[in-house]
Amino acid sequence: MNQQAYPHAKDFGWIASDDQGNVGIFITAGEGPIASAALNAEFFPVVEVEPRVLDMSIRDREGVKMLVKVPRPDSYIDLASRGLYVYDWTDISRGSGHLDAYELMAIPAAAIHCDELPEELATVARSVRLTGVRFGVDKTISVG
């Protein structure tokens, strides 16, 4: 399988599905690891995932549950309002005690199943399956 290059120093999100077919988005903060299947060269560029998610219809904005307090939660809420569980690579902002994992930031009120995504996103989400993971239940997820 040909791979896309890792987009170094770019803050973007890639998607995956869990064992139930729910969809999570993982914000790299410019340095977080990416599941190798998400970099499949047959897919559209990985840096286009987040804008494509934001082009989707809002399912429920008011019911999004933020799990952390951040000065500007809008980007997390925008993604979760479209039905995705939102994880972020928070190690970049930690002084110490790195998790070496993505941390759950927001839970959607109306979770979306990978089969409900637009076709190109659904293809990626089905291909990037994180086995043994349950979005929303697992507060941290290690990738690599």
Please report the DSSP string for 27-53 in residue order. Answer: E-TTT----GGGGBTTSSPGGGHHHHH
pLDDT at 98: 64
- pLDDT at 107 exceeding the cut of 90: yes
Contact 39, 78 (CB under 8 A): no
Closest CA to 122 of 44, 58, 65, 47: 44
Q: What is the pLDDT of residue 99?
A: 72
Kindly state the average pLDDT of the residues 66-89.
96
Q: What three-state secondary structure class fits 56? A: coil
The answer to whether residue 79 sits within a structural domain is yes
Q: Region 108-112: what's the mean pLDDT?
A: 98
Residues of the domain holding 48? 13-137
Domain assignment present for residue 4? The answer is no
**Rounded distance, CA 40 to CA 63, Å?**
34
The answer to which of 39-43, 50-54, 127-131 has the lowest mean pLDDT is 39-43
> For residue 117, is it within any domain?
yes
Model pLDDT, residue 47: 94
Residue 50, burial from CB neighbour count under 10 angstroms (0-12, 13-18, 19+): buried
pLDDT bucket at 9, cuts 50 / 70 / 90: confident
In a domain, 120, yes or no: yes
Q: Is residue 5 in some structural domain?
A: no
7 in a structural domain:
no
Phi, psi dihedrals of residue 125, rounded to the nearest 5°: -60, -40
Please report which confidence band the pLDDT of residue 102 belongs to, taking 50, 70 and 90 as the band edges.
very high
Domain count within the chain: 1
Residue 81 lies in a domain: yes
Tell me what pLDDT residue 144 has: 74
Residue 6 lies in a domain: no
Q: Cβ neighbours of residue 6 under 8 Å, at least 6 residues apart?
A: 34, 39
Q: CA–CA separation, 25 vs 85, rounded Å? A: 6
For residue 94, pLDDT over 60 is answered with no
